[in-house]
Homo-oligomer: A and B are copies of this chain.
Amino acid sequence: MSTHTFKSDLFEQFARVGKALSSGKRLEMLDFLAQGERSVEVLAQLAALSVANASQHLQHLRQAGLVVARKEGLYVHYRLAGDSIVQLLAALRAVAEERLADVDKLVKVYLHSRDSMEPVPAKELMQRVKKGLVTVLDVRPPEEYAAGHIPGAINVPLNEIRKRLHELPADQEIVAYCRGPYCLLAFEAVAQLRKKGRQARRLENGFPEWKSAGLPVEEA
């Protein structure tokens, strides 16, 4: 029977995708790419890699079919090859959170120790935005905000929050979000706002998850 070699071949192909997911640096880059297109240089900076090394990783990802490249002038912009990849990353993260004691510890130590607050689920936020009950705060850099954000969200990067505090209504709850469940910007923002006496929480699962869940997105 040649079915043995067939099955082996097939699983070997699946393993190519697994191999692509077997490096922390690559996962980090994929996480950034979930937010939108990025150039090699930017990705290298974000993941703390040399440009050449980042380029190699990206080609690894490209061969695995996870990212695609688009050349524009000097720059090559990479992006995720499809929405199924966001789902794959989410599934990976879910398993890791559920099963890896170390991740749990890390998350608890680094994140939950910073906040005594529960995150706001996306659905809940949708409802309360409709009713005008909350102010949505996007604490990412303006470029990322411009590339897509939750409808009605105000963009105030983290380091400008104290200066621009007056732009935020004092009598409404503020829900801050950034890039994802492990992005620290929103945590910091909430902490600062609370210090100033505001009522603030953070959105569960940042913008990439919001978008991939099919929820409405506003651009430019």
Contacts and interface: CB of A to CB of B under 8 A. Distances in A.
Interface residues of A, number: 53
A97 to B, nearest CB: 9
Contact of A24 (B11, B20, B91, B98): B11
A31 interface: yes
A88 interface: yes
A177 to B, nearest CB: 17
A10 B26 CA distance: 12
Report how many copies the assembly holds: 2
A195 interface: no
B106 A95 contact: no
Contacts of A14: 21, 24, 27, 92-93, 96, 103
A51 interface: no
A164 interface: no
Interface in A1-56: 3-4, 6-28, 31, 48
Contact of A8 (B48, B102, B184): B48
Interface string A68-111: 00000000000001101101100111111011111100110010
Contacts of A22: 15, 18-19, 21-22
Given A8-B28, A11-B25, A99 B82 contact: yes
A47 B15 CA distance: 14
Interface of A: 3-4, 6-28, 31, 48, 64-66, 81-82, 84-85, 87-88, 91-96, 98-103, 106-107, 110, 182, 184
